[in-house]
Amino acid sequence: MGQQTMIAEKLAYFFDASDLGSVFEDWPEEVGLVLCLDDAGTCEMLLHHREEGRTVLRKAGALLDRGPGEFAVVPAVEGYPTRRVLFSDEQKLLALVEDEDDLAEMAADYLINYHFEKDRKARERREKEAARAAVQKSPARSSEPFFWRPRLHLSEVRAKRQPRPKAPEIPQGYVPAEAISEVECFFAEGELRIGRRGVRLALAPELVDIKTCTRLVQEVGFRDDLSRFVLPRKAVEGWQPGEPLVIDIPEERFPAGLRARFSGAARVAEVTITAQGVFVAPGAVIPEPEPVPEAELKAPVRKRRRFLTPVRVAVVLLTGVGLTAGTMINAVETPNLLEAPANLVAFDEGAD
């Protein structure tokens, strides 16, 4: 029962070139694709050449962390369990592949690298065979001793040629300056913290709002000393320097030590973006803003401006009396306005 459960958790689903040609117009005919799936929802894509044979199964097993025969394979392969996949599920997997816009370009690059590596191995094999043949054809050494008579002669004394200084060795992981003079490169500062969706990297965090684009990235790699990590270049596709962007990475992708480090306060993130990827170096803790004293939160009491001087008060009172009198007259006299005396009507007009 345990073996069946383990097998059910892992699946390698193979698409050949004819399947992928219906999705991508320029898909290479010699390249296939394997989807390495598990029940946690993780999907790793593996490109391979049709000549690799069962080698690709070993690569898929390495991605799935399973040995031969310990994961299911579709279509069926001898020595491996398989399972029935509905047509609707197959279409969903094809839709998942179709969402990767640059997959066909990656397949073309893989084909170029495959042929280059194949030619390199063939060339090395020919050179070894030629060297072996040359050793076999060389004459056997004589067992007789070799005698020589030294000859003395004078020659000009020449200054010894100073050896050229050796170029400094470049450590692994670094590139000589002349190789990167024209390489595309951007730098950005961000903020790194653990959020609701995992480890969150925010570029231009001061500009982040509810309208900011948020992306979920599954692929992440780490340097051997865990001092920085790298995300695929597509994680910032369409982004421009200075614009806000939020990238979420599942927390379980990070080692326990890094998760503990990021679980506290937010940290500064120094981000370098090149054609090879998005390199992130976590920095110092970002201090929390100091609370504002309660006394400073109270708004200062403004003194009301005196609008009414003694002269204005007198004018207001007189105006109020006149208006009140006129209103009362109108209210009392309106029903008999047609029979009112002439002087009363004139008074009303003057009040208005």
Tens digits of per-residue pLDDT, 296-315?
A: 656 555 555 444 455 454 44
- Look at 29-38, 50-59, 85-94, 159-168 and tell me which has the smallest mean pLDDT: 159-168
pLDDT, tens only, 257-289: 888 888 878 899 999 998 889 999 998 888 877
pLDDT score recorded for residue 111: 92
pLDDT band for position 120 (cuts 50, 70, 90): very high
What is the average per-residue pLDDT within 139-156?
51
What percent of the chain is predicted at pLDDT more than 90? 27
What is the average per-residue pLDDT within 218-244?
90
Q: How far is CA 287 from CA 208, 228, 263, 271, in A?
A: 19, 21, 14, 20
Longest dimension (CA), the chain: 164
pLDDT score recorded for residue 330: 38
pLDDT band for position 328 (cuts 50, 70, 90): very low
pLDDT score recorded for residue 289: 74
pLDDT score recorded for residue 133: 85
Give residues with Cβ within 8 angstroms of 188, minimum separation 6.
203, 204, 241, 271, 273
Residue 182 has pLDDT above 70, yes or no: no
pLDDT score recorded for residue 300: 56
Residue 96 has pLDDT above 50, yes or no: yes
12 or 290, which is more confident: 12
**Which one-letter DSSP state was computed for residue 19?**
H
Strand intervals (E) in the chain = 10-15, 31-38, 43-49, 72-74, 185-195, 198-203, 214-216, 221-222, 229-231, 245-249, 267-274, 277-285
What is the average per-residue pLDDT within 38-56?
87
Residue 334 has pLDDT above 50, yes or no: no
Could you tell me the pTM of the whole model?
0.37
